[in-house]
Structure 1
């Protein structure tokens, strides 16, 4: 456990609480967190996760812009849901992306746990894109990412980060429930 990891963990917890609360300030906090985790994961030879942090940084900018545009008249962030067709296509795309990325990390790098790490990375990309677009289903993917990450980071001796992902798991469940409640309220009032 390093000082860098401690700071990243604190920022990560703040970030997820802000997302669950649909607070737009999650984005600058998230950008600081992913900057730190890029270095942490690179040092741990979790290259998929290190590269993922660069993606996260870019998509944080996009999400911030999109959330600014996606406010209801009262200022709340509007929650959307994917169609069944979009869900099916998303799952198929995620399986293909995970297989391709895991193979590439296995074949061309000295990455530790390239398939496990690659699966986390591809699910995270999909979840982040869905979250940026305010889709409820992002939380289901984050729950899967969190479960997989707890084990990987524990094995890689990133114990504090593993513990953070236990907290992320609880917050992701809370986030799903909260966003589902907001979505249902919208349907009732419509």
Structure 2
């Protein structure tokens, strides 16, 4: 499988790796499926995480760790969406119903992101071999956990969380030679904005908030 980390082509002077390209194309597909609230978003996300983990491992520890988290949360998301999607006999359409997080949930996610970022960054600084850029790596790692947890719980806020992660992840990818990741995130940005609008509208249409009160 060494060909995955070999050069596919050169784009605007940037060397594009097969793993970087394939992993991000799968990531785009997973995001599009998530926008449509399709259960297959999660296995596609798992496959994307697996390929990108191989691409980043040994170079960008935080980004590689992010992909490990992506795979774990993808399994949780598959289970959570499959358990809570609306059944036709209950008036549902076979998909989860998006909802806005409560203020308590928002506060908990912001606090978890802040404390988690500091804790992971301190850990990376204590072990410099694990990360070249402790703070952005920690931010990406923890932000991904928060974003994917919110997605698994059907929260509209997950789109905002992904945008905040990408604000750091995009320049970091360009700076470390993963150009295709940077280019793809331009498309990610458009999908996130459209997806956020769609989920927001659907959250207003739902007769009851999906997953409300469901155990974590």
Q: Say whether residues 1:92 and 2:111 are aligned partners.
A: yes
CA contact 1:147–1:169 (8 Å) conserved in 2: no
* d(CA) in 2 for partners of 1:186, 1:176: 15
2:51 to 36, 47, 60: 36
CA contact 2:50–2:71 (8 Å) conserved in 1: yes
Q: Say whether residues 1:127 and 2:147 are aligned partners.
A: yes
Q: Say whether residues 1:151 and 2:171 are aligned partners.
A: yes
The number of residue pairs the alignment matches comes to 187
Which residue of 2 is the match for residue 27 of structure 1? 42
* d(CA) in 2 for partners of 1:85, 1:71: 23
Q: Which runs of 4+ in 1 moved over 4 A?
A: none
Q: Deviations over 1:130-154 (max 9, x none)?
A: 1111111111101111221111111
CA contact 1:146–1:166 (8 Å) conserved in 2: no
* d(CA) in 2 for partners of 1:151, 1:27: 26
Of 31-40 and 169-178, more deviation after overlay is shown by: 169-178
CA contact 1:147–1:165 (8 Å) conserved in 2: no
* d(CA) in 2 for partners of 1:66, 1:173: 24
Which residue of 1 is the match for residue 199 of structure 2? 179
Show structure 2 runs of 5+ residues with no match: 1-15, 88-92, 209-216
CA contact 1:149–1:165 (8 Å) conserved in 2: no
Q: Which has the larger radius of gyration?
A: 2
Deviation for aligned residue 1:187? 5.4
Deviation for aligned residue 1:21? 1.0
Secondary structure of the corresponding residue to residue 177 of structure 2:
coil
* d(CA) in 2 for partners of 1:89, 1:172: 23
Q: TM-score, normalised by structure 2?
A: 0.82
Q: Deviations over 1:104-141 (max 9, x none)?
A: 11220331211111101111100111111111111110
Which residue of 1 is the match for residue 134 of structure 2? 114
C-alpha RMSD of the superposition:
1.5
Q: TM-score, normalised by structure 1?
A: 0.92
* d(CA) in 2 for partners of 1:59, 1:85: 22
- Structure with more of its chain in strand, by fraction: 2
Show structure 1 runs of 5+ residues with no match: none
